[in-house]
Structure 1
Amino acid sequence: MTTNRPARSAALAVGTALALVAALAPAQARTHAAEPLPAVTPKAETPTLYDDEAGGSANADDPAIWRDAADPDSSLVIATAKEGGLRVYDLDARQVQSVPAPAAPGPDDAPGRFNNVDLVHGLRLPAGRADLAVVSDRGHDRLRVYRIDRRRPGGPLTDVTDAAAPRVFSAGQDEVNDQHTAYGLATWTDPATGRSYALASRRNRTEVALLELLATPGGTVTYRKVRSLTLPSAFRLPDGTSWTPCAEPGELPQVEGMVVDPANGMLYAGQEDVGVWRVRADLSGTPKLVDKVREYGVPGVYDEETEECAPGADPGFGGTRLAADVEGLTLLTEPDGDGYVLASSQGDDTFALYDREPEDDNEYEGGFRVTAGRTADGSEECDGAAVLNAPLGSRYPRGLLVVQDGHDTPSVPEGREATGFKFVDLGRVMDRIDD
């Protein structure tokens, strides 16, 4: 993963592959023998973001797509750039606004670091209903909220976060500095009550919090924690042994990618080294593990000198469609009510599609890759994704898929960390899926 533990994830994937060659685990043998996934190419790509001493500290992570109902051609992509704040792009992938992350509160404290973003439509504010972009600020352990106004002269986003908005998980600045802070994020509006919520996961922990978004009389937005849910960090394997994903000491298998299906109020959460969970978005009920990553159950030993995990032999208890880390969950809806939960399989640069119906146990429906085309390179180690199956003017009449690229390949000196976002015609994706 580009945001966390890249060496460990790479080492685990490579080491596991070597162990599989020796062990010939049946589940993995089936995966290797499967038909290759179809490929689609991007139509456009955003300007490269750099996270190094020469180019600043901007690092692409997670996108959201906002549709301008009055003028779909003027729709926007709002995306996080970590310490680089937010970037806003038009449908040609050109930047129209850059919003900085908040400064560090003190000289020894972390600056703002925007991790994930999602949208809320029509939240009632004193001046009327507004569409909002909600962002997890990992650096400060808070949510930040931006009003969207496409025709605002200074740029479409205005910060409407209440100054008194609380920390999500931490009791004080010392805990914030430990960075066990708000990380992944998804939004949800309960159709039964009309109340809007954000669900935030905690970095290096298995906790997910449900936060109700609240408008203040002054026109800002704050939130309150309703409840939280802790997913497992250790797992009983079919052979009776217990397994915990290998990580740096003190770290637990975290959740980042999340999405809520508004039709049934189900939250899908990607626990990076484990798999995809399904649970009610109000965090009631019992979570169900929909699918596992291939590395599920693989033992590992952390090496403090190399800061990597050395994997052992694969016992064959993992899945066959996702390679750790599982990332970038988003919902692809269809007009007839069908659709898919889409997950980024970061370890093998693919995207997996699951039926959105819990009654069908979210059956796996296929997958695809985003590969280099004539106008843009593909997506590797994808952290975040967003999809909108709605007409977006002349550029994307059948909708849009936006995916993060963890290894952008511009003509720059080797060794610079370069990331960006790829815009893919959703019609092309659907055509390849249906082939």
Structure 2
Amino acid sequence: MTHPRRTILTLGTVVATLLAAAPAAAQPTATHRDRTATVTTDNETPVLYDDEAGGNASGDDPAIWVHPKDSHRSIVVVTAKEGGLRVYDLRSRELQSLPATEAPRTDPAPGRYNNVDIAYDIRLAGRTVDVAVVSDRYNDQLRFFAIDPGGSAARTPLVEVTAADQRFLFNPDRAAVDEEHTAYGLAVWQPRRGETYAVVTQEGRTTIATVRIVEIAGKLGYTDIRKVVMPGTFALPDGSTWVPCEEPGVLPQFEGVAVDQRSGVLYAAQEDVGLWRLPLPLGSGGRPELVDRVTDFGIHDVYDEASEECVPVDPDAEGFGGPRLTADVEGVDIYYGPGGTGYVIVSSQGDDTFAVYDRQGRNRPVGSFRVRGVRGADDVNGSDGLAVTNRPVGGYRHGLLVTHDEPETGPDVDADRDATNFSYVSWADIAGALSLKVDTRAGNDPRFH
């Protein structure tokens, strides 16, 4: 068992005070509020059903692994919660289905895989491997899956390599883990060769953690847990204090996270609040900034027990939000351009759109888009996780975006079952619709050494 050093920082009070003192600095202008383009997709993965007959498979988060020599062998790895993991090729055909098995620990529980990201060039048992890193909610830990270098041509693209008895990330014992405020969102951070971390969020809380990924007895585990507590209440410019409405016992959580590998900036989506940026390592001195706010930021709601919904105290109230993000704010990833350029892409689940921001400077908003299905594919609704790469992969010669879709609809989908899947969108189409840059050189993405 590892015995990591644990550090907890509290930024909530400081950040909330800064927001009240300087609201304009944290909120981009709305000059692009009406610029919502439409792009199309005709490539989507097979439907997953979240019921017993479907193996309780509910799609959530994708990651794109880029083959270093033959991009056509690249794969897409997605989480299906209690349904485990799925691996697809670039034509969205299923290559592998991995069940959410019990974690390798002395107090095991079956897994629930929530988010996934890719770590490149990890030393393991005397060789260098790429690894899919997965958050396991039911065990409050990370799971690790080595990627076969053959990619889509491999008979078994993923094999688990998780070390035994890894420390719970957010809880002191199994009884606390069973309350399910556990490992949730996830992103990999590789600041330099030979050094790999994971950023992990906590379900139902405002805590964000980082851990260092290390080899343990020929497997992969983690150590050096560091945590920061982000704000859950906000002082507003009108003098009131705003607490985002949640279910009883739940705080405004984060899920979607992505790390700018070159600058060390973490982008984190607080679902009912907005998009944050904060420097890594946690506690390094820079303060978090709220890049953009959800449309109903600052509107006071109350939780209605009967409907299990939040309803506004004053239906005519105007808040302090922005025009681009409608709660929940979900998936986040980065398209790398030359130098410090590129884009941060965020899924605005509440209105089925995706907001795009400049990667550099103050993350100026540059537009939004929605995804329409063609030739048998359906429109993308309620997107949760997303992944993007600037690298050519298969027929996507200018890069690829993969996004979760819920509910999945269409003539071949059973409308009486909870259906999800994932859609593939050409970056060339997104770039053309919003006049964005396209740059596919490997050196512009620091994840590729």
TM-score normalized by the length of structure 2: 0.85
**2:42 counterpart residue number:** 43
Superposed, 1:57-206 pairs within 5 Å as: 57-103=56-102, 111-151=110-150, 154-191=155-192, 194-206=194-206
Native 8 Å contact 1:268 1:329 kept in 2:
yes
Equivalent position to 2:320, from 317, 322, 326: 317
CA contact (8 A) 1:206 1:230 kept: yes
Partner in structure 1 of residue 365 of structure 2: 364
For residues 104 and 223 of structure 1, what CA distance do their matches in structure 2 show?
Answer: 15
Question: 1:306 deviation in Å?
Answer: 2.2
| Letter paired with 1:349 | D
- 1:343 aligns to 2:346 (yes or no): yes
Tell me, in whole angstroms, the C-alpha distance in 1 between the residues paired with 2:295 and 2:313: 14
- Unaligned stretches of 5+ residues in structure 1: 1-29
CA 1:204–1:398: 2 relative to 1, 3 Å: same
* Counterpart in the other structure of 1:389: 390
Q: Which residue of structure 1 lines up, in the alignment, with residue 6 of structure 2?
A: none
Percent identity, aligned pairs only? 48
**Contact residue 104 and residue 165 of structure 2 kept, 8 A:** no
Cα distance in structure 2, aligned partners of 1:386 and 1:412? 24
Alpha-carbon distance in 2 for matches of 1:252, 1:298: 16
Amino acid at match of 1:340: Y
Q: What residue number does 2:358 align with?
A: 355
Look up the equivalent residue of 2:243 and give its one-letter code.
T
Q: For residue 33 of structure 1, report the CA deviation from its aligned partner.
A: 11
Residues 240-251 of structure 1 mapped to structure 2, 5 A cutoff: 240-251=239-250
Does the Cα contact within 8 Å between 2:169 and 2:225 map onto a contact in 1? no
The CA deviation at 1:53 is 3.8
* 1:419 equivalenced with 2:448 (yes/no): no
Find the residue that maps to 1:92 and give its secondary structure. coil
Q: What is the letter of the counterpart of residue 419 of structure 1? A: T
Q: Name the CA distance, whole Å, in 2 between partners of 1:118 and 1:405.
A: 18
Q: Indicate which of 331, 334, 337 corresponds to 1:328.
A: 331
- AA aligned to 1:327 is E
Name the structure 2 match of 1:26: none
**Partner amino acid for 1:281?**
L
CA distance in 1, matches of 2:56, 2:273: 29
Contact in 2 for aligned 1:401/1:426 (Cα 8 Å): yes
Deviations 1:235-266 (A, max 9, x none): 00110100111111110000000000011000
SS of the aligned residue for 1:52 comes to coil
1:375, distance to aligned residue in structure 2 (A): 3.5
Letter in 2 for 1:101: A
8 A Cα contact 1:123 1:129, kept in partner: yes
Q: 3-state DSSP class of the match of 1:429?
A: helix
Q: Distance in 1 between matches of 2:149 and 2:91?
A: 15
Please state how far the C-alpha of 1:426 moved relative to its aligned partner: 1.2
Q: Which moved more, 1:307-316 or 1:296-305?
A: 307-316
In the alignment, is the contact (CA less than 8 A) between 1:43 and 1:425 conserved in 2? Answer: no
Q: For residue 433 of structure 1, what is the amino acid of its counterpart?
A: L
Amino acid at match of 1:397: R
Residue 226 of structure 2 contacts residue 282 of structure 2 at CA under 8 Å; is this kept in 1? yes
Q: Is the Cα–Cα contact under 8 Å of residues 271 and 277 in structure 1 kept in the other structure? A: yes
Q: Contact 2:49–2:420 at 8 Å: present in 1 too?
A: yes
Q: Deviations over 1:88-107 (max 9, x none)?
A: 0000000001111124899x
Aligned to 1:232: 231
Q: Which moves more between the two structures, 237-246 or 31-40?
A: 31-40
**CA distance 1:224–1:105, shift in 2 (3 Å):** closer
Partner letter of residue 326 of structure 1? V
Aligned to 1:283: 282
Alignment-mate amino acid for residue 327 of structure 2:
A
- CA–CA distance in 2 between the matches of 1:63 and 1:73? 18
Deviations for 1:24-77, whole angstroms, at most 9, x for unmatched residues? xxxxxx989953511111131000000024433001100000011121111000
TM-superposed CA distance for 1:194, in Å, is: 3.6
Q: Quick check: 1:378–1:422 contact (8 Å CA) kept in 2?
A: no
Structure 1 ranges of 4+ moved more than 6 A:
30-33
Q: CA deviation at 1:151?
A: 3.0
Q: Pairwise CA RMSD of aligned residues?
A: 2.2
The residue aligned with 2:20 is: none
Matched, 1:400 2:403: no
Q: Is the 8 A contact 2:75 2:87 kept in 1?
A: yes
Q: How many residues align?
A: 400
- CA–CA distance in 2 between the matches of 1:168 and 1:300? 32
Show structure 2 runs of 5+ residues with no match: 1-28, 437-449
Q: Structure 1 104/195 Cα, relative in aligned 2: closer, same or farther at 3 Å?
A: closer
Q: Structure 1 72/432 Cα, relative in aligned 2: closer, same or farther at 3 Å?
A: same
Partners of 1:42 and 1:375 within 8 A in 2: no
Specify the code of the residue in structure 1 equivalent to 2:49.
Y
Letter in 1 for 2:210: L
**Deviations for 1:215-250, whole angstroms, at most 9, x for unmatched residues?**
12x320010133111100000011010011111111
**What amino acid maps onto 1:251 in structure 2?**
V
Kindly indicate whether the alpha-carbon contact (under 8 Å) linking 1:110 and 1:177 is maintained by their aligned counterparts in 2.
no
Cα distance 1:384–1:316, how it changes in 2: closer, same or farther (>3 A)?
same
In structure 2, C-alpha distance between the alignment counterparts of 1:250 and 1:53, rounded to whole Å: 28
Compared CA separation, residues 32 and 309, structure 1 to 2 (3 A): farther
